């Protein structure tokens, strides 16, 4: 259905130094079209790339490096340093130097994870203030969005010095980023003065850079991304030329930093330190730096010298072979195995059924990692595009396509919703409107009605997750729809529309169809979910599935029973005279039995007793109908039967039977 042709660029989507330095001599056309860019906003390193003559290439800094360390230092004079200079200050000024700020994006200040993530001086939100994370650095207070914007500003100006006019940007985000984290990324871009053409999932970007969408319409691929401090595994499938995320997994605390630590620890032990707590911090820093340098050297060499400077002593020097290194880091590498196997299982594919495995992230340069991936997936991994740059290349290619003159649908890239989105209905039941794994962009409407007579408003509580009860899911937003004229229960027609755009952002609309009253919210939840939260929520939903369904069915029965109880009691109050004594006693007995059953919490009993009340109320219902008709014919309005008006919004009631899965 959707066919893309970029074969010319993809073979050359590779960093090419000669090409790049030539660009410095290019003569700019002042009327030139602004150039779209692609940005990999990484936890450890960030990059910006663009497309020249169909080839993706990274913009280099003055040291000819494509990488900008994602580190921001707030200096005493109010200045801000970003990149390698900032990173070099991190050890000395840990609280003024923010590293790995991506981990905080879209997170809440009250999230227990937040404080565990860094040595920073967190500002607690005051009453009524938003719940976003804020850091105190020197005399100012900054948010993760602002810190990320500093990184983006440097990338933007790097691109500007090279391209003159920068157009819109495609920015990559991890596949597991939720609405809040995606929104935070967009906000950071806006703050940096960038127009976001689209947010693109990192693994999808890597697949695009490899042109895996070329020459085929179907396929399944794994993207193995081992960076500095995070590991992500994603299974993608290509359907009709469109990529979809089938499953994601990983470990947000695993990466090249752990390799550095393993090597540094070993050296410090060899230097005679038994207890690491006794090692001076500067020596720890030097050992880590030396370990990283040795690790990088051992990618190509089979042997290198590990040198650690010591104050007042000769430097510690030792020869480290690749075998020594492999033995030290093997446990780190093997920690990626379980998540990979789980991701394959979740996607329902066997390693043999994969059409390819892509390596992403600086740490996949380590030869041991490549061997391990091959073992794990039974495939020689694709690695000929620089794993540091492959995501930025994919983003640039996508940006080029989006800004291009070709038809827009060409660039349609579909991802899926990681967790179901829905609303709370009567009885606290979560009604899923967009189920998990729905391909985005997506939209769906569902009809609801009023539960009580004369209900003039609805509470719309938007929730995310797989559990059957709203309270067990994550609350994203609450809003009300008011001003509906009084109508009997079930007469109002509420249409709730969920739309998730191509960036994965959710907007919810609610419209009462008989009056046309409507409300709309953009859902910007106050904090985000990490990959492992998504995983935990999914695990819980499996674990509690039976229990949850039982709870949901019970709630549904209770809601139904309450409705019948309310309506019958009302009828009895208004028209009780229509029954003889026996009939009345029987009906009252049935009502009592239903109330007792509701107390017991026995779903089956509630159901039976509800039916019992319905049966016992039949004569009353028939006679009321006759009386109503007679009254109407003698000129009385039907409204006389209605109680006084209530003005209390309640949760909507699903039209038709509540369903169970």
Q: According to the binding rule CB under 6 A, does residue 296 interact with ligand ADP? A: yes
Please report where in the chains the tokens 């599935």 appear, as a residue. 545
Asked whether 359 and 334 are in contact (CB, 8 A), the reply is: no
Half-sphere exposure for 440 (CA within 13 Å, toward CB): 29
At its nearest, how many Å lie between Mg ion and the CB of residue 361?
5
* Active-site residue flag, 202: yes
Q: What tokens does 573 get?
A: 């109050």
CA 73 to chain centre: 28
Please, which residue, 365 or 467, has the CB nearer to ligand ADP? Answer: 365
Pick one of 103, 295, 436, 461: the residue that binds ligand ADP (CB under 6 A). 295
Query: Which one of the listed residues 96, 150, 225, 415 is annotated catalytic?
Result: 225
SS3 call for 545: helix
Active site residue 178: no
- Concerning whether 239 is annotated as a catalytic residue, the answer is no
CA 515 to CA 486: how far, in whole Å? 11
Q: Smaller CB distance to Mg ion: residue 196 or 392? A: 392
- Candidates 521, 520, 510, 525; CA nearest to 445 is 510
Indicate the residue among 168 and 255 with the shorter CB distance to Mg ion. Answer: 255
CB of 369 to ligand ADP, least distance (A): 8
Report the residue from 45, 114, 425, 438 that binds ligand ADP according to the rule CB under 6 A.
Answer: 45
Within 206-235, the residues that bind Mg ion by CB under 5 A are 227
Q: Measuring CA to CA, which residue among 53, 27, 23 is closest to residue 159? A: 23
Identify the H or E element spanning 534. Answer: helix 531-543
Number of residues that bind ligand ADP (CB under 6 A): 21
Give the β-pairing of 356-360 and 653-654: unpaired
Catalytic residue among 35, 40, 251, 512: 40
| 40 has catalytic annotation | yes
Q: What angle do CA 340, 341, 347 make, to 5 degrees?
A: 90
The catalytic residue among 96, 102, 187, 424 is 102
Binding pattern for the stretch 341-370 against ligand ADP, x by CB under 6 A and - elsewhere: --------------------xxx-xx----
CA-to-CA distance for 480 and 461, rounded, in angstroms?
8
Rounded CA-CA distance 130/146 in Å is 15
Partner from ligand ADP, Mg ion, none binding residue 424, C-beta < 5-8 Å depending on class: none
Query: Which member of 167, 228, 249, 356 binds ligand ADP (CB under 6 A)?
Result: 228
**What backbone phi and psi angles, to 5 degrees, belong to 335?**
-65, -15
Q: Which is nearer to Mg ion, 39 or 506 (CB)?
A: 39
Output the smallest distance, CB 45 to ligand ADP, in A: 3
Kindly tell me which of 349 and 392 has the beta carbon lying closer to ligand ADP.
392
CB 398 within 8 A of CB 200: yes
Is 69 a binder of ligand ADP (CB under 6 A)? no
Rounded to an integer, what distance in angstroms lies between the CA atom of residue 301 and that of residue 303? 5
Of these, 36, 38, 42, 168, which contacts ligand ADP (CB under 6 A)? Answer: 42
| Integer-rounded Cα radius of gyration of the chain | 31
Selected catalytic residue, list 202, 466, 512, 548 = 202
- Which residues participate in catalysis according to the annotation? 40, 102, 202, 225
Binding region for Mg ion (CB under 5 A): 42, 227
Binding region for ligand ADP (CB under 6 A): 42-45, 227-230, 255-257, 292, 295-296, 299, 361-363, 365-366, 388
């Amino acid at each position: 259905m959707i066919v893309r042709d970029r074969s010319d660029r993809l073979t050359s989507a590779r960093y090419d130094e000669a090409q790049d330095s030539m660009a410095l001599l290019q003569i700019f056309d002042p009327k030139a079209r602004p150039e779209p860019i692609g940005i990999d906003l990484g936890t450890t390193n960030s990059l910006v790339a663009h497309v020249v003559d169909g080839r993706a290439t990274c913009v280099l800094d003055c040291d000819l490096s494509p990488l900008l360390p994602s580190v921001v230092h707030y200096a005493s004079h109010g200045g801000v340093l970003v990149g390698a200079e900032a990173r070099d200050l991190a050890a000395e000024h840990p609280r003024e130097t923010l590293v790995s700020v991506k981990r905080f994006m879209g997170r809440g200040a009250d999230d227990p994870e937040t404080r565990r993530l860094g040595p920073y001086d967190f500002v607690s939100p005051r009453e009524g203030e938003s719940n976003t994370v804020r850091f105190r650095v020197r005399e100012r207070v900054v948010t993760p969005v602002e810190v990320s914007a500093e990184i983006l500003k440097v990338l933007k100006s790097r691109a500007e010095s090279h391209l003159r006019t920068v157009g819109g940007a495609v920015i990559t985000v991890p596949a597991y980023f939720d609405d809040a984290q995606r929104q935070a990324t967009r906000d950071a871009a806006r703050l940096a003065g960038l127009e976001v053409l689209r947010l693109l999932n990192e693994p999808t970007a890597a697949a695009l850079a490899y042109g895996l969408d070329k020459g085929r319409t179907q396929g399944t691929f794994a993207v193995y991304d081992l960076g500095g401090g995070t590991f992500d595994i994603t299974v993608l499938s290509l359907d009709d030329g469109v990529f979809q995320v089938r499953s994601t997994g990983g470990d947000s605390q695993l990466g090249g930093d752990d390799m550095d630590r393993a090597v540094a620890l070993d050296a410090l032990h060899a230097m005679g330190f038994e207890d690491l707590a006794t090692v001076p911090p500067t020596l720890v820093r030097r050992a880590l730096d030396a370990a990283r340098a040795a690790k990088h050297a051992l990618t190509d060499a089979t042997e290198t010298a590990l040198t650690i400077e010591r104050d007042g002593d000769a430097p510690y020097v030792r020869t480290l072979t690749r075998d020594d290194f492999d033995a030290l880091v093997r446990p780190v590498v093997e920690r990626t195995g379980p998540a990979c196997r789980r991701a394959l299982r979740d996607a329902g594919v066997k390693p043999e059924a994969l059409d390819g495995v892509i390596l992403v992230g600086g740490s996949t340069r380590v030869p041991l990692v490549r061997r391990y991936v091959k073992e794990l997936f039974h495939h020689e991994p694709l690695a000929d595009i620089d794993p540091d740059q492959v995501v930025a290349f994919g983003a640039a290619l996508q940006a080029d396509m989006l800004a291009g003159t070709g038809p827009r649908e060409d660039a349609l890239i579909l991802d899926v919703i990681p967790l179901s989105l829905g609303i709370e209905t009567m009885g606290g039941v979560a009604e899923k409107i967009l189920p998990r794994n729905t391909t985005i962009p997506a939209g769906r409407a569902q009809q609801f009605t009023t539960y009580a007579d004369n209900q003039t408003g609805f509470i719309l509580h938007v929730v995310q997750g797989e559990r059957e009860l709203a309270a067990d899911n994550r609350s994203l937003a609450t809003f009300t729809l008011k001003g509906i004229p009084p109508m009997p229960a079930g007469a109002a027609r509420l249409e709730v529309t969920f739309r998730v755009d191509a960036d994965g952002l959710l907007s919810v609309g609610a419209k009462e169809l008989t009056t046309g009253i409507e409300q709309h919210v953009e859902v910007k939840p106050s904090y985000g979910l990490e990959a492992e939260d998504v995983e935990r929520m999914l695990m819980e939903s499996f674990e509690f599935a039976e229990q949850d369904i039982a709870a949901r069915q019970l709630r549904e029965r209770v809601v139904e029973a309450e409705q019948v109880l309310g309506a019958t009691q009302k009828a009895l109050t208004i028209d009780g005279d229509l029954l003889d004594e026996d009939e009345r006693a029987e009906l009252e007995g049935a009502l009592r039995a239903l109330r007792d059953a509701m107390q017991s919490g026995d779903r089956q009993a509630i159901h039976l007793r509800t039916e019992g009340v319905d049966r016992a109320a039949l004569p009353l219902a028939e006679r009321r109908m006759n009386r109503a008709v007679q009254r109407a014919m003698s000129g009385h309005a039907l409204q006389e039967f209605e109680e006084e008006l209530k003005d209390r919004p309640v949760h909507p009631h699903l039209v038709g039977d509540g369903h169970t899965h």
